[in-house]
């Protein structure tokens, strides 16, 4: 076994990335405290070629040195939009026929593996604050909530980890359909 060289990875250029067809998935970041977490989500969004990131509230937005440190350039490839609050972002998503799901532990949430079997063409996921999660008023605006199964003591994941898991699961199911 041999590690691949950078040339063998078939990386897209910035222009190729921007021209590439995106997966109709949007990550909504609601009041994320850590700009490092925001940068990590940018990096995952780039890796999985998702459509966009919506940044809301006091979440840091590019240009920002801590985002750049973890995004490693993905802040320049992934499309993003800023909204003053999640309601405005969700109204925008609904106008564009997206189904919106909070990633949160709530009554009647849908387990991620069951959700990925459902057939949604355009979907957005709201990821909440590192301490308080997705705000209740935002959950009320969503079409539902999904939950990542967890079996340990904490039942809590870092937002960037949760985003990576959810985004990969959506991409994985898209790949199975093609």
Q: Phi/psi class of residue 130: alpha, beta or left (left: φ > 0; alpha: ψ in -120 to 50)?
A: alpha
Residue 175, pLDDT > 90, answer: no
Q: Which two tokens stand for residue 123?
A: 């979907």
How do residues 110-134 score in pLDDT, each as one tens digit?
A: 999 999 778 788 999 999 999 999 9
Structurally, what CATH architecture does the domain formed by 22-147+155-177 represent? Answer: 3-Layer(aba) Sandwich (3.40)
Give me the pLDDT at residue 34, please: 98
**44 with 30: CB under 8 angstroms?**
no
Residue 157, pLDDT > 80, answer: yes
Measure the CA–CA gap between 87 and 103, rounded to whole angstroms: 16
Residues 6+ apart with CB under 8 A from 142: 90, 100, 101, 102, 126
Give me the pLDDT at residue 121, please: 86
Give me the pLDDT at residue 178, please: 67
Pairing of strands 80-83, 50-56: parallel
**27 with 45: CB under 8 angstroms?**
yes
Residue 166, pLDDT > 90, answer: yes
Give me the pLDDT at residue 76, please: 95
The model's pTM is 0.95
How do residues 9-56 score in pLDDT, each as one tens digit?
A: 989 988 999 999 999 999 999 999 999 999 999 999 999 999 999 999
């Amino acid at each position: 076994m041999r590690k691949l060289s950078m040339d063998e990875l078939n990386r897209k250029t910035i222009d190729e990335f921007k021209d590439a067809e995106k997966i109709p998935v949007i990550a909504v970041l609601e009041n994320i405290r850590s700009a490092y977490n925001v940068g990590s989500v940018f990096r995952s969004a780039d890796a999985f070629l998702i459509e966009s990131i919506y940044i809301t509230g006091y979440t840091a937005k590019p240009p920002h040195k801590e985002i750049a440190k973890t995004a490693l350039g993905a802040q320049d490839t992934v499309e993003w939009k800023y909204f003053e609050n999640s309601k405005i972002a969700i109204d925008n998503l609904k106008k564009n026929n997206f189904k919106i799901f909070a990633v949160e532990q709530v009554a009647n949430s849908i387990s991620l593996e069951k959700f990925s079997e459902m057939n949604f063409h355009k979907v957005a996921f709201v990821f909440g604050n590192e301490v308080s999660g997705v705000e209740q008023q935002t959950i009320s605006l969503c079409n539902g909530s999904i939950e990542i199964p967890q079996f340990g003591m904490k039942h809590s994941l870092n937002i960037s980890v949760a985003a990576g898991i959810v985004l990969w699961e959506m991409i994985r199911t898209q790949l199975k359909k093609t």
